[in-house]
Amino acid sequence: MHSFAPMEGTYKTVRALERGLEILFELNKIGRATPAQLSKATGIDRTTTYRLLHTLAAQGLVGRSPAEDSFYLLRDTRRLSDGFIETDQVLWLAGVELGKMLLKVQWPSDYATFDRGTMLIQETTHRFSSLSVHRNMVGRRRTLFSSALGRAVLAGATDSEREMILQITESSLGRPAPRNIDSLLEDFHQRGYTWSVGGSEGHISAIALPIKGKDRVVGAVNIVFFRRASTPEEIAEKHLDSLKSCVAAIEAGITKTAEDTRSLHGPTPESS
């Protein structure tokens, strides 16, 4: 059974709404069920379960098979998630995993996405790291070709995707983008990460890895450190495994979200 954490404040939760959501969650998990099965699975009494199901049916969220007296989700349930897009989910995942990595690495990290020819920092641990002189990093931009973040996105992209990134960069910045990036790709495959020394700020260095979705690169994560304190090679030796684990956890979360979405929006009895 799902548990719902109350928001701060003095308002009481709406029990009927909680129970209705329990029914939706359970149907999403098992696909089709009778009121008796749902009552047993959720702990909601059978009479209340019937009322909730008929209310959800009236809203177009569940359908009923009279022959079996069973209920199932209808495609209109996707209305509940229309405002929650993939980028929101990745941002949330990145925030969680960057926080976990900070406990091990201590150096700050950023999650950034490609945006109009540059890398836009979407999430960061700079404000929590004792080794950072920056606090307000969200919304700052890094160059595509001289930052570890930008190089990671280029290295993680497919050939066709990389060409599109270069075309967008040229259009956005109004100047030709470097096309000979074979050395960057070769260096990435040899090292297993991208790096920069003074590429964004003279006293800052970084290493980074791309984050890949099912069929595209969705962004990159870095570890940022003082140029005078260490080299990319030294940081990679100490912390590359932690960076890889962070990226792997984000990618696993993206995959799970995609699978959950397919499960929710996939074929239902109404279309069979």
Predicted local distance difference test score (pLDDT) of residue 11: 59
Task: For residues 63 and 70, give the distance between their C-alpha atoms in angstroms, rounded to a whole number.
Answer: 8
Spell out the domains of the chain, with CATH numbers in brackets.
Answer: 15-82 (1.10.10.10), 86-260 (3.30.450.40)
Distance of CA 255 to the CA centre of its chain: 9
Burial 144-173 (b: 16+ CB within 10 A, else e): bbebbbbbbbbbbbeeebbeebbebbeeee
Predicted local distance difference test score (pLDDT) of residue 192: 98
Predicted local distance difference test score (pLDDT) of residue 268: 45
255: left (phi over 0), alpha (psi -120 to 50) or beta: alpha
Predicted local distance difference test score (pLDDT) of residue 266: 54
Predicted local distance difference test score (pLDDT) of residue 263: 57
Task: For residues 36 and 40, give the distance between their C-alpha atoms in angstroms, rounded to a whole number.
Answer: 6
Predicted local distance difference test score (pLDDT) of residue 26: 87
Q: What is the chain's pLDDT, residue by residue, as a tens digit (272 residues)?
A: 554 444 445 556 688 888 888 899 888 877 788 999 999 999 999 999 999 999 998 888 888 877 668 888 887 776 665 555 567 788 889 999 999 999 999 999 999 999 989 999 999 999 999 998 887 899 999 999 999 999 999 999 999 999 999 999 998 888 888 888 999 999 999 999 999 999 989 999 999 999 998 888 999 999 999 999 999 999 999 999 999 999 999 999 988 876 765 655 554 444 44
Q: Kindly state the tokens that stand for 173.
A: 């910045």
Predicted local distance difference test score (pLDDT) of residue 272: 41
Say if CB 144 and CB 119 are below 8 A apart. yes
